Amino acid sequence: MLPLFSILLILWLMLNASLAPDVLILGLVTALVIAGLFRGSLSPLTEFKATPAALRAAPLYLLYFLKELVRSNLRLANVVLSPSLPLNPGIVKVRTRLTSRMGRLLLASSITLTPGTLTVALQGEWLYVHWVRVDHDDIDGATASIVAGFERYLEVMYG
Amino acid sequence: MDASLYAVTPLNLLGALLLVLGAAFLLLGGLGLVRMPDVFNRIQAGTKATTLGTLLSLAGMGCLRPDWGLKLLLIGLFILFTNPLSSQVLARAAHRVGLKKSPLTQVDRLAEDTGEAP
């Protein structure tokens, strides 16, 4: 409950850009009520391991993610602008070593925003990923090229 | 009319450049929606292009109006967290109801494992 409460309060203060008492009190009460209503749900701080290694991995993860997002768009541009539309789509199955719920959620979302891949389903440790150009349709090959890059960081941050 | 937006300063030029880049990616995303053969490939084109396109537009706006920075950052975060999720839910629903996949499709492990319409 505390992670969601802190995030909501920080968002509220950023939106208002003020620490006036009335703003602060309204934010505190609202954040508390919402955090209470959604006790069981996830927030980016849920299960975050606040170790020095995790705090170092977080910005690296963000940088890696932005790099992959740009690469993803350039590749998409390349496909969309080719007259022949070079596609080789399919849904492959990959496995993740992550065990935390937030770690898996972030992994699924990261995969969706990176080159040619879209998470279609998440069942336990298995992810089903739609791939614009299937390079490997076996589990190990697909896992190595889709999951491994992000897992490196998320494992340290969430486990 | 805010005259400071039309002054030729390095920051304004960078902002304009980022806005144009963002618009270009959004255009490519739109082109992808038209050209891609089935719903899954369309979702792919839509998600990636709108995410980067919107983030670049927001960054460009941040250069033009630095005082909006904090709010633009928040909008960017909301987009980063919600865009992939909505795409995943759309894709899952499309697969569950058995929307037609492109004949180019190589494999579908999800259909093999769940028995949903191949």
How far from the centroid of its chain's Cα atoms is residue A50's Cα? 18
What letter represents residue B118's amino acid? P
Residue with tokens 């541009």: A77
Beta-ladder partners of A127: A94, A122
A76 touches chain B (CB under 8 A): yes
**pLDDT one-digit tens code per residue, A120-147:** 888 888 888 888 888 877 888 888 888 8
pLDDT of residue A13: 87
Residue B34 lies in a domain: yes
Please list every residue in chain A whose beta carbon sits closer than 8 Å to the beta carbon of residue B27.
Answer: none
pLDDT at A2 over 60: yes
> At B39, which amino acid appears?
V
B2 falls within a domain: no
The verdict on residue B74 lying in a domain is yes
- The answer to whether B40 and B73 are in contact (CB under 8 A) is no
Q: Is residue B79 included in any domain, yes or no?
A: yes
Shortest CA gap B71–chain A (Å): 6
Q: Give the pLDDT confidence of B32-73 residue by residue, as tens digits.
A: 888 888 888 888 888 888 889 999 999 999 999 888 888 899
**Residue with tokens 């849904």, as numbered in its chain:** A91
**What are the backbone dihedrals phi and psi of residue A97, each rounded to the nearest 5 degrees, phi first?**
-85, -15
Structural domain harbouring B26: 7-114
Note whether A91 contacts B: Cβ–Cβ < 8 A: yes
Give the CA distances from residue A126 to residues A97, A144, B21, in Å, rounded to whole numbers and listed in that order.
9, 14, 36
The residues spanned by each domain of chain A are 2-37, 52-157
Alpha carbons within 13 angstroms on the beta-carbon side of residue B7 total 9
- Return the residue of B nearest to A72 by Cα: B48
Q: What is the DSSP letter of B118?
A: -
- Residue B25 in any domain: the answer is yes
Q: Indicate whether B44 belongs to any domain.
A: yes
Please, which pLDDT band fits residue A26 given cuts at 50, 70 and 90? very high
End-to-end Cα spacing for chain A: 20
Is the full-model pTM beyond 0.90? Answer: no
Q: Is residue B57 part of a domain?
A: yes
Which residues 100-119 on chain A approach chain B with CB closer than 8 angstroms? 108-110, 112-113, 116-119
Total tally of structural domains belonging to chain B: 1
